[in-house]
Amino acid sequence: MARRTKAVGIAGRFGPRYGATLRKRWKEVMERRYADHECPFCGTKGRVKRISTGVWMCTKCGAVWAGGAYVPRTGLNKHFPRIIVRRE
């Protein structure tokens, strides 16, 4: 029978290890990382992928940009966008 992880969500794989506070923090970060993000260039939602740490790509328009480690747009990035490659 599968494990039930309704309350702990993605952090349920750790079980009772590492402490509740640490698991909650990790859960918040991972939920933001795997959420559907919007492309800042074409506006499509759900087509943004993380290529590596801090490098994001839209699979629809092909734009590649530098963002945060876990989210494609950080606080400063919203004011100073920096595109790496845009394929059209």
User: What domains are there in the chain, each with its CATH number?
Assistant: 37-88 (2.20.25.30)
Model pTM above 0.85: no
- Could you give the CA distance from residue 88 to residue 80 in angstroms, rounded to a whole number? 22
Tens digit of pLDDT for each residue in 66-75? 888 999 888 7
3-class secondary structure, 52: strand
- The number of helices, as runs of H, and strands, as runs of E, in the chain is 2, 4
Tens-place pLDDT, residues 7-47: 788 898 998 899 999 999 999 999 999 999 999 888 999 99
- DSSP string computed for 15-44: TTTT-HHHHHHHHHHHHHHTS--B-TTT--
Sorted by sequence, the CB contacts under 8 Å of residue 21 that are 6+ apart come out as none
